[in-house]
Amino acid sequence: MATMAADGLPVEPQSLKKLSLKSLKRSLDLFAPAQTLLFAPDAESKRIRTGCKVRAEYGAVKDLSAEQGRGQGKGTSAPSTALALPGTQDTKDAHREGTSNAIVPAPLMLPKAPESTIPGKNTTLSISGSSDRFSTSALMERIPSRWPRPVWHAPWKNYRVISGHLGWVRSIAFDPGNEWFCTGSADRTIKIWDLASGTLKLTLTGHIEQVRGLAVSQRHTYLFSAGDDKQVKCWDLEQNKVIRSYHGHLSGVYCLALHPTIDILLTGGRDSVCRVWDIRTKAHVSALTGHDNTVCSVFARPTDPQVVTGSHDTTIKLWDLVAGRTMCTLTHHKKSVRAMAMHPKEKSFASASADNIKKFSLPKGEFLHNMLSQQKTIINSMAVNEDGVMATGGDNGSLWFWDWKSGHNFQQEQTIVQPGSLESEACIYALSYDVSGSRLVTCEADKTIKMWKEDLTATPETHPINFKPPKDIRRY
């Protein structure tokens, strides 16, 4: 029903769309006449703009006289940075008459090359011909890449497969004398194997859940183990039995490490805490708290920071062991830091995540660089030997070998599951080099242990390095 206006005439109801279009039309009628009006040109601004362009393009040579140009052409004065641009036939005649360093404007506009800062070097470029295609790379001086070239390493090959566990093999540790190694499994046992022959020497039982971490002491005949049953055990290898248990974790224990110079043990687990234990008295020394999620990797070193932990909260923390607090927190990763490896000689370490493998310096934790390739899988374990060969094992069964110095990935291997296993069980949970660094042992989800060594028949000619330095270096 139509409404009544103030003068008594009926008003037709209109939709919101129609009213909006009417408002737009009124605005257009109001402002449209002024759209074609342009501002009057300002002579002063035009002069400033032209002067800036002249200084930017020809500032180095615009004040040279003809005599100075001839002198530079004969090499009697300082080197010139002038560009001899192609032009018409008149400009070519002028070029023959001796004005070799003069700038002659031409219709063709070339990109400006950066001025050389090398003393005593003539950077005059003379481009002949009348081609209309010139690239910036033709004018700029090529700078060699400063990225270090990788050292050649022989490729690694699998030479032995050991079966014996009844579950996933989750952890590994080597004897300091390099005679045997031990593995922990989801079948709740710890098995000790002879390194030379690969035969089983001993089986230790005592855990009631899978064994997630192992470590062998260098100063005592002790083996330490940790598992999902919240237990940390100390085994006396002379009696082959448990002599101490360390109680305190509120959930599964995922990693452990021994301090190289002090009799303390470090364990990290799902309770987001790295706990410090006294080996001799089984006393709980301190708890390094600060992570927001599972602590899944840890290593210790003789000097500060004596403890470094990686967590599912994507951070790496460097700890002051005496004060019991964090010295530094590294937030470079975007995914869980499941594996870390310290170089046996250099003061640096690498950390692995699903997004990237990064290298940091010690003791300050400064970021050095990323590895030059992405494994594109969850990396469960990594290790590096004294020769600078780093190995990383992935959740998809990929085993990649890297050159430590340059970050170049020189070999990619894919593990083969044993007959009767599922293809999804191609997964590497743990890996470690022996004491000499010449043997690599991987622990896998198909219940096998695989041993790798370098191919002694390979040479740089048969396996050349296919290396391309990175064009852009990431700073994070």
Predicted confidence (pLDDT) per residue in 350-370, tens digit: 999 999 999 999 999 999 999
Phi-psi sector, 348: left (phi>0), alpha (psi -120 to 50), beta: beta
Q: Which residue has the tokens 């080197």?
A: 79
| Beta-strand pair 169-174/180-185 | antiparallel
Token output for 103: 């700038």
Q: How large a percentage of the chain has pLDDT more than 90?
A: 65
DSSP class of residue 32?
G
- Residue 182: pLDDT over 90: yes
Higher-confidence residue: 44 or 143?
44
Distance CA 162, CA 36 (A): 85
SS3 state at 340: strand
Identify the H or E element spanning 359: strand 357-361
Looking at this protein, which amino acid is placed at residue 403? Answer: D
- Residue 403: pLDDT over 60: yes
pLDDT at 192 (0 to 100): 97
Identify the H or E element spanning 16: helix 16-31
Looking at this protein, which amino acid is placed at residue 333? Answer: H
Alpha helices in 32-163 (DSSP H): 43-58, 66-73, 89-96, 136-139
Give 314-351 pLDDT, tens digit per residue. Answer: 999 999 999 999 999 999 999 999 999 999 999 999 99
| Beta-strand pair 3-4/325-330 | unpaired
pTM for the whole structure = 0.70
DSSP class of residue 322?
T
Phi-psi sector, 449: left (phi>0), alpha (psi -120 to 50), beta: beta
Distance CA 377, CA 144 (A): 33
- Residue 376: pLDDT over 60: yes
Distance CA 139, CA 113 (A): 6
Phi-psi sector, 114: left (phi>0), alpha (psi -120 to 50), beta: beta
Distance CA 456, CA 21 (A): 83
Q: Which of 248, 255, 284, 290 is nearest to 269 (CA)?
A: 255
Distance CA 341, CA 331 (A): 17
Distance CA 283, CA 305 (A): 22
pLDDT at 439 (0 to 100): 97
Give 56-112 pLDDT, tens digit per residue. Answer: 888 877 777 766 666 655 544 444 444 444 444 544 444 444 444 444 444 444 444
**Entry field: residues in the chain:** 476
Distance CA 349, CA 372 (A): 16
| Beta-strand pair 189-194/180-185 | antiparallel
DSSP class per residue in 163-181: E--SS-EEEEEE-TTSSEE
With beta carbons less than 8 A apart as the criterion, state whether 422 and 445 touch.
Answer: no
Distance CA 414, CA 394 (A): 10
Peptide bond into 10 cis (omega under 30): no
With beta carbons less than 8 A apart as the criterion, state whether 319 and 329 touch.
Answer: no
DSSP class of residue 396?
T
Q: Where are the beta strands (DSSP E) in 220-356?
A: 222-227, 232-236, 241-246, 253-258, 264-269, 273-278, 284-289, 295-300, 307-311, 316-320, 325-330, 339-342, 348-352
pLDDT at 34 (0 to 100): 62
pLDDT at 51 (0 to 100): 87
Q: Which of 193, 182, 187, 180 is nearest to 206 (CA)?
A: 187
pLDDT at 119 (0 to 100): 43
- Residue 117: pLDDT over 50: no
Identify the H or E element spanning 185: strand 180-185
Q: Which residue has the tokens 């037709």?
A: 12
Distance of alpha carbon 216 from the chain centroid: 30
